[in-house]
Amino acid sequence: MGLIQNLLNLVIPPITVVFIFLILPFLSFFKFIHFILRHLFPEKMRGKVVLITGGASGIGEHLAYEYAKKGAYLVLVDKREERLGKVAEKAGQLGSPDVLVVAADVSLVDQCKRFIDEAVNHFGRLDHLVCNAGIGSSCTFQDMPDVTKFLPVMNVNFWGSIYPTYFAIPHLKKYKGKIIVNASVAGWMITPRANVYGASKAALINFYDNLRIEVAPEISIVVVSPGFIDSELTRGKHLTKKGEVEVDEKLIKAAGGVGIPIESTGDCAKAIVTGVCRGDKYITVPWLYSMFYLLRIFCPELVEWISGSLYRTMTRD
């Protein structure tokens, strides 16, 4: 058995490389044609129903505005009901015919079932489920006084997407709907001090990559990986080692100190909705972060060195 395994280790890699180079030109041609067609005939959102979790601020808020401009009906979900009302009012002014506001906590399974049911009962259908709600965390693993205080990161970021997905699937199947999940570049990059946050996003990516196969072709899945976007997270709002969500001024100063470019929330949301309607399976915003994914695969040592340098810079007094 060991001899066979060693033989396969020698034979399979070169065969794979040759196969890739032979099929790549044909695959690139068909992908180019498909790309053009998707640009020419994007999905029309007028009259369709879009549910967005974490819709009271940040990317979720601006996703609501972009969908509203396209004439979609909206269901906005967040714990902050007062802020939801303001977003709903503006979304109506931008073109949404009707906006349903639902105060709910995505980390609680019963509340997720409730807002899916309310959306379908109110509008009679569901076309896009946007799993956007999330919280950040910033703390080295060794500095955690109580590791259980970081359970909310996984409960919100991971289960807060899985729960509504579970209840929405039967409704999305009826109209060949889409699930859009807001992961993060941190899901596949090295992110010191954000290890629990990155792990929650990596879990999302893996889960929805597998789910895509299970629900196709009735439901399409779009995995979004934002980089540094002007939102509450980049303004220092994280779950601290005390287990409380606070604004950490040191994080803001540290991010500015390493000169990380930050994209506006509006531009990010516009790129996401454009890509979703175009039929993209993966969306990275800003697009330049896609290059880091290639580096992660082909030059992991370089990525580790860069991440280590950034970490040392951000933790320097």
- DSSP assignment of 145-173 equals S-GGGGHHHHIIIIIHHHHHHHHHHHHHH
For strands 73-78 and 99-103, give the pairing. parallel
Strands (E) in 122-172, as ranges, are 128-131
What are the beta bridge partners of residue 205? Answer: none
Q: Which residue has the higher pLDDT, 317 or 156?
A: 156
**Helices (H) then strands (E): counts for the chain:** 11, 9
Q: What is the average pLDDT value for the chain, to the nearest integer?
A: 87
Residue 12 one-letter amino acid: I
Query: Could you say which DSSP state residue 137 is in?
Result: B
The active-site residue, picked from 73, 163, 197, 289, is 197
Check whether 307 has a pLDDT greater than 80: no
- 197 catalytically annotated: yes
Q: Which domains does the chain have, with CATH numbers?
A: 44-314 (3.40.50.720)
Which of 209-213, 234-238, 254-258 shows the lowest per-residue confidence on average (mean pLDDT)?
254-258
3-class state of residue 103 by DSSP: strand
176 vs 1, 64, 163, 172, 216, CA distance in Å?
47, 21, 20, 6, 9
Mean pLDDT of 22-32: 71
Q: Which helix (H) or strand (E) holds 74?
A: strand 73-78
C-alpha–C-alpha distance, residues 134 and 219, integer Å: 23
Reported pTM: 0.88
Please state, for a pLDDT cut of 70, what percent of the chain lies above it.
Answer: 87
The tokens describing 231, both together, are 């939102």
C-alpha–C-alpha distance, residues 42 and 116, integer Å: 26
Which of 30-44, 54-68, 253-267 shows the lowest per-residue confidence on average (mean pLDDT)?
253-267
